[in-house]
């Protein structure tokens, strides 16, 4: 048994952050116009799944407004095109930036704002895109300190449709998993490396990381009955060859966990395509296959 290979089309590394986002504007990598060819290349190199962020700041640029129909149409086109070539799409609703209006009202740092506005966004996205996606990853990683009510509302809106991933940084917040048991279809384990982006990594460093990831995956599996998904793993290194060594370690770690009986449905690498300020992706900005792609897919 093995896991499906996926990759994350993050806002930062594809469209760039919107003018009306708290982190915007920023440059993208050309995905805005190249997405038909980009999807075809991702499918051609062997991916089975993608995690696509439906950018909140673009789709709902003003509070309480209906969704921006131009961006609705564009995301619908992307979802239809991915389905047509056999790419399963998991829709992410937050992967870094938020609308500026939401940030001005306190954003995720204000529990009242969070509880009031986030479920409305989830509901609108589900109503518009729910029939077009293979699953939901509402948060790339659930924010630290998020009120339990937010996830309860999110689950209440999305449950019963396409499967829902609860993305948790298992290195930091195992308690979050316990809080959400019974309110997820898949547990999304977010695994991280503990190195600088330009660090020299020796075999011992990678072995230690692999051992830690293996413990985290097994410990997470012991807490839930749900299948695991590795969500948005980023090697965290700027050197493509070193990033590939990290990916090789991760793949071996996941294969070992599966051999030990852990159910891992899919793993997502991040980013799928490098952006102007991102670390290396499975494809570089020229859409050339990277060493990490070989390590992950071959």
Specify the CATH number for the domain of residue 44: 3.20.20.80
Please tell me the distance from the alpha carbon of residue 250 to that of residue 243, in angstroms, as a whole number.
11
- 3-state class percentages of the chain: helix first, strand second, coil last, to nearest 5: 45, 15, 40
Are residues 151 and 166 in contact, defined by beta-carbon separation less than 8 angstroms? yes
Percent over 70 (pLDDT), the chain: 100
User: Is 205 exposed, middle or buried (CB count within 10 Å of its CB: 0-12, 13-18, 19+)?
Assistant: middle
**Residue 196's domain spans which residues?**
4-297
End-to-end distance of the chain based on CA atoms, in angstroms? 16
3-state DSSP of 198-246: CCCCCHHHHHHHHHHHHHHHHHHHHHCCCCEEEEEECCCCCCHHHHHHH
Please tell me the distance from the alpha carbon of residue 14 to that of residue 21, in angstroms, as a whole number.
15
Residue 1 pLDDT: 54
For residue 66, the Cα-to-chain-centroid distance in whole angstroms is 25
Residue 232 pLDDT: 87
Query: pLDDT, tens digit, for every residue of 56-97?
Result: 999 999 998 789 999 999 999 999 999 999 999 999 999 999
Query: pLDDT, tens digit, for every residue of 162-172?
Result: 999 999 998 77
Q: Looking at the predicted structure, is the pLDDT value of residue 20 above 80?
A: yes
C-alpha torsion angle, residues 274, 171, 260, 203 (rounded to 10): 60
- How many Å is the Cα radius of gyration of the chain? 18
Query: pLDDT, tens digit, for every residue of 168-218?
Result: 998 777 778 888 889 999 999 999 998 999 999 999 999 999 999 999 999
Structural domains in the chain (count): 1
Q: Stretch 29-39: mean pLDDT, rounded?
A: 97
Give me 194's structure tokens: 């503990």
Give me 19's structure tokens: 């003018």
Query: pLDDT, tens digit, for every residue of 105-138?
Result: 999 999 999 999 999 999 999 999 999 999 999 9
Residues 6+ apart with CB under 8 A from 201: 195, 237, 242, 245, 246
DSSP string, 114-141: HHHHHHHHHHHHHHHHGGG-SEEES-SS
Please tell me the distance from the alpha carbon of residue 169 to that of residue 177, in angstroms, as a whole number.
9
pTM: 0.96
49-53, strands of its sheet edge to edge:
135-137, 88-92, 49-53, 4-9, 264-269, 228-233, 186-190, 165-169
């Amino acid at each position: 048994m093995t896991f499906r290979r996926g990759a994350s089309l993050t806002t930062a590394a594809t469209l760039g952050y919107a003018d009306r986002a708290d982190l915007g504007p920023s440059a993208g990598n050309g995905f805005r116009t190249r997405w038909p060819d980009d999807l075809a290349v991702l499918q051609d190199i062997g991916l089975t799944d993608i995690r696509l962020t439906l950018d909140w700041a673009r789709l709902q640029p003003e509070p309480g407004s209906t969704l921006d129909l131009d961006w609705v149409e564009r995301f619908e086109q992307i979802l239809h095109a991915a389905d047509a070539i056999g790419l399963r799409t998991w829709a992410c609703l937050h992967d870094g930036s938020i609308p500026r209006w939401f940030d001005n009202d306190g954003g995720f740092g204000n529990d009242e704002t969070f509880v009031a506005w986030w479920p409305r966004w989830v509901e609108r996205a589900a109503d518009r895109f729910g029939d077009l996606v293979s699953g939901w990853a509402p948060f790339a990683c659930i924010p630290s300190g998020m009120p339990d009510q937010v996830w309860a509302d999110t689950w209440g809106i999305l449950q019963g449709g396409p499967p829902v991933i609860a993305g948790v940084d298992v290195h930091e917040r195992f308690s979050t998993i316990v809080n959400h048991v019974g309110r997820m279809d898949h547990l999304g384990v977010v695994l991280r490396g503990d190195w600088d982006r330009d660090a020299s990594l020796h075999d011992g460093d990678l072995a230690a990381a692999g051992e830690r990831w293996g413990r985290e995956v097994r410990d997470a599996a012991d807490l839930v009955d749900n299948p695991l998904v590795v969500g948005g793993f980023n090697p965290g290194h700027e050197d493509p060859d070193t990033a590939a060594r990290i990916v090789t370690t991760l793949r071996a770690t996941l294969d070992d966990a599966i051999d030990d009986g852990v159910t891992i449905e899919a793993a997502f690498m991040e980013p799928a395509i490098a952006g102007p300020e991102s670390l290396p992706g499975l494809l570089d900005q020229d859409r050339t296959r990277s060493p990490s792609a070989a390590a992950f897919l071959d």
